[in-house]
Amino acid sequence: MKSAWLALRAVARWLACGLLFFTITPVLVFLGIFVDPRRNDWPQRWLFRNVLRAAGVEFEVRWAPGFDASRTCLFVSNHINIFDAFVVYSAIPQFLRGLELESHFRIPAYGWMMRRFGNIPVYKNPTATQIRELYQRTRAALDDGISIVVFPEGGRTLDGHLRPFKDGVFRMAVQFGYPIVPVAITGSFEFNRKGSWMLYPGKIVVYLLDPIETRGLDKNDVQTLRARVRAAISEKIELSLSAAGRGA
């Protein structure tokens, strides 16, 4: 009986999320045709935060003492489920766009909005031209004061733990000289996980950690930088998973 109730509740929440998203998204895209997205950022934030509410998420953001919301940065986050874009956009208090798999831009409505609002496509097996375009578009966004969020695992976790990081964002950070802010999303694996449509309402806590400077670094520092960022994120995730295990 309990499992049937949980399944019914999950279906109802998915329907609520879908209705909200597919009703408001065309309005946002239409507004984006006439209004600079920077002046039209709050409606998208409202939508993303309320999609999380409809899904049953209680939400909290914790800033490290050194985090400066006014600095343009590369935000590097762990990747758990399809709600991550909604989570990071709700958590990071500045105008930002993301590096996102090119295949996502083919998703009805969602991909349409992400392309119109300036997310940058990343190809799975990029050509040299596509890599050059990725670097150029990322650099242009950062130089224009637009922070970028990246999920360097390249896919969603299957067990809640952090997967290995790819080098791309760290190479860009070293080349461009912009700081990296590690972002740890905790509580989301318990809420929903890859391969399951079940939603278990609960609390998601996002940690915006101290920035890691990249000025003065070169290509020889990429692996050390990657390991440092990954360790900072992993520490928060492992503490959360441990606490969840004790509470189970």
Architecture of domain 2-243: 3-Layer(aba) Sandwich (3.40)
Above 60 in pLDDT, residue 198? Answer: yes
pLDDT the model gives residue 10: 94
Q: What is the pLDDT of residues 105-149, one digit of tens each?
A: 777 766 766 777 778 888 888 888 999 999 999 999 999 999 999
Question: Which tops the pLDDT comparison, 119 or 215?
Answer: 215
pLDDT the model gives residue 47: 92
Q: What is the pLDDT of residues 50-91, one digit of tens each?
A: 999 999 999 999 999 999 999 999 999 999 999 999 999 999
Mean pLDDT of 194-203: 93
Q: What is the pLDDT of residues 234-244, one digit of tens each?
A: 999 999 998 87
pTM of the model: 0.92
Q: What is the pLDDT of residues 161-190, one digit of tens each?
A: 999 999 999 999 999 999 999 999 999 999
Above 60 in pLDDT, residue 248? Answer: no
Mean pLDDT of 191-220: 95
Q: What percent of the chain has pLDDT over 90?
A: 69
pLDDT the model gives residue 247: 46
Measured CA to CA, the distance from residue 37 to residue 116 in angstroms comes to 9
> How many angstroms separate the most distant Cα atoms in the chain?
60
Q: What is the pLDDT of residues 11-58, one digit of tens each?
A: 999 999 999 988 988 888 788 778 777 777 888 899 999 999 999 999
The strands making up 180-186's β-sheet, listed across from edge to edge, are 57-63, 202-208, 180-186, 74-77, 147-150, 96-101, 120-122
The answer to whether the beta carbons of residues 24 and 47 sit under 8 Å apart is yes
pLDDT the model gives residue 161: 96
The answer to whether the beta carbons of residues 184 and 78 sit under 8 Å apart is yes
Mean pLDDT of 86-97: 94
The answer to whether the beta carbons of residues 71 and 211 sit under 8 Å apart is yes
pLDDT the model gives residue 39: 73
Domain boundaries, the chain: 2-243
